[in-house]
Structure 1
Amino acid sequence: MRDTRPVLDDSVVLIDGPWRHRFVDANGIRFHVAEQGTGPLILLLHGFPEFWWTWHRQMPALAGAGYRVAAVDLRGYGASDKPPRGYDAYTMASDVIGLIRALGERDAVVVGHDLGGLLGFAAAGFHPRSVRRLVVLSSAHPLRQRAALAVDPRGQLAASRHILKFQLPRFEHVVTRDDAAMVASLMSHWAGPQWRGTPEFDAYVRACRDAIQLPQAAFCALEAYRWALRTALRVAGRRFVRLLQEPLKVPTLQLHGSRDTCILPRTAQGSGRYVTANYEWRLLRGVGHFPQLEAPDTVTSEILRWCKE
């Protein structure tokens, strides 16, 4: 049967609120940013399969506390450009730094969730002068995650089996099939039990299902994960590992849900060994893979505390 659903456009992610939507050019492409407040910059990076909207519970509070908050759609997501290439960690980390510059700042507090957390680690490692402080949610240092996939086959490797599927050609069509049913399934599996099935959860999953069905969005989202495995044994992959072996000199706070089934707590907790600056780890009891939505007040207060220290 022919699919007669209308093709979605960027308007599905330009959600109204106390923020303003703008587009900025950085690192050769155009990014969509939702921005609110004035003051020192806090740059918010989302994960897979999301978009800037994942931070809507934090933005008003952070702006009200005297910060300029910018929640970005990463390269290939939401209303940002979706070029056919550029999904390697080097380019996407440079995107982060380019965005800070494009927003008129020399540095920023970077807050990243999931893929955004991994990019936060990379950006802080490659460009430490541009990242004032780092907050990572539901993610692990890239070298720690790489090691866990190798030494924890029944744990992190099993939890990452979706990434193995992402390597298949044209798998983006599986992701968007049946109104992006796979996105709903993954998010339901990863979410904490107290949030899963609530009206807020259902509404958020609906928004993410729409966003991943934007033209080319699913393909672009999978390309970052394909690069990670394709280059693991190549020169680019070895160079990436070598660069990240330099200890991180940016003060780093890690927040992680105890019920996270995507990035296991034991995987993420080992990230501290790669940080020589001030480092804190906090486990959020009963929370799954989406702390910014499952425990929004706690996450907001922790970000503010880390910004002010």
Structure 2
Amino acid sequence: MSASESLPLASPKDRAWSPPLPPADGITHRRIAAPGLRTHLAECGQGEPVLLLHGFPEHWWQWRDVATGLAAAGYRALIPDLRGAGWTEADSPALDRTSRLRDVLALLDALGLESVRLLSHDMGALTAMQLSYGHPERVLSAVQLSVPPAFFAFSPRIVPGFRHLPQFLLHRRGTSLRRIFSPAYVARGMTEEVKDRHRAPQRRAEVEAAVRTLPWRQILPEALRMSAGVYRRRRLAVPTMVVFDHQDRPWTEPVVRRISRHAPRCADRVELAFVEDAAHFLTDDAPEEVTALALEWFARTR
């Protein structure tokens, strides 16, 4: 199969999605083939494309409500499962700092898209930032959730914001990730059914392996680059909105504004926004607010 070929939604005659995909109204699914990778792509709507990059340890389903909101406003939501997550399949479990960036570029090429709007959350924002800095011609504008801009200035006050990392760095096969969806990260509560749908692909071997691999191979290397000021020595050309939530401690508004103070020197256009009554998992806590902020930003950055 060539890089430009794709498989339609699985039917009884085709290899089924395993485990079964969570339900999501209005969203279709297919596989996009590239060398060594078969990306699961969820899609919704018609119009200008928006690429949505999920967080960790989530997958495409986190965007279910945001995607339908974008589609209703006339956009085409493209939601890939990134390497090591969801229903995407890789020939090799090997990962490095820019594996997912290369995968995203291959996906855009396979879809024939020169540029997209970009919406990302959590670890997906790391790949989104790599795309914005390394290939600004491919990104018209961007919204990133729950992650500070890459040029942020380190402060000891943000250290508690990484309290979840040890459980990933020291993850043992078969260990449940249920506690990551605790009230510390979800302000409006999450049912057991929703937690199970977020965790469904973890039974896949490559997803299970990535829970420990990705923090070592992507999160820590990028965190070190940011802390060393690598991105403060570059300029962000892509108009970017950075969205945080008032209940995601320690990322309070004063702290986020303080660590983002270099924006005028490091970026052409960056704005901060804050969502009430939401915590880290913004797309579950406040999908309508996320959708509204993204639509407003996309409209203002034409």
Do Structure 1 and Structure 2 share a fold, with TM-score over 0.5? yes
CA shift at 1:121, angstroms? 1.2
Task: State the alpha-carbon separation in 2 of the partners of residues 295 and 74 from structure 1.
Answer: 23
Distance change in 2, residues 1:202/1:273 (3 Å): farther
User: Aligned match of 1:20 in 1, 21, 28?
Assistant: 28
Gaps of 5+ in 1: 1-8
Match of 1:6 in 2: none
User: Do structure 1's residue 123 and structure 2's residue 155 form an aligned pair?
Assistant: no
CA shift at 1:101, angstroms? 1.9
Match of 2:99 in 1: 91
> 1:233-265 deviations in whole A, cap 9, x for unaligned?
99xx69x96467311000001111111138665
CA shift at 1:267, angstroms? 5.8
CA shift at 1:37, angstroms? 1.4
CA shift at 1:109, angstroms? 0.5
Structure 1 residue ranges, 4+ long, deviating more than 6 angstroms after superposition: none
Distance change in 2, residues 1:165/1:255 (3 Å): same
CA shift at 1:165, angstroms? 4.2
CA contact (8 A) 1:122 1:244 kept: no
Match of 2:236 in 1: 248
Match of 2:181 in 1: 187
Task: State the alpha-carbon separation in 2 of the partners of residues 100 and 229 from structure 1.
Answer: 23
User: Aligned match of 1:156 in 155, 158, 177?
Assistant: 158
Task: State the alpha-carbon separation in 1 of the partners of residues 181 and 250 from structure 2.
Answer: 9
Root-mean-square deviation (CA, aligned residues, Å) is 2.8
Matched residue count: 280
TM-score (norm 2): 0.82
Amino acid at match of 1:25: A
TM-score (norm 1): 0.80
Gaps of 5+ in 2: 1-16
1:78 is paired with a residue whose SS is: coil
CA shift at 1:273, angstroms? 2.8
Q: Which one has a larger percent helix, Structure 1 or Structure 2?
A: 1
Task: State the alpha-carbon separation in 1 of the partners of residues 250 and 267 from structure 2.
Answer: 26
More moved, 91-100 vs 59-68: 91-100
Distance change in 2, residues 1:77/1:191 (3 Å): same
5 Å matches for 1:197-276?
A: 197=190, 201-228=191-218, 231=221, 242=230, 245-261=233-249, 268-269=256-257, 270-271=259-260, 273-274=262-263, 275-276=266-267
CA contact (8 A) 2:96 2:218 kept: no
Identity %: 25
Match of 1:46 in 2: 54
1:118 is paired with a residue whose SS is: helix
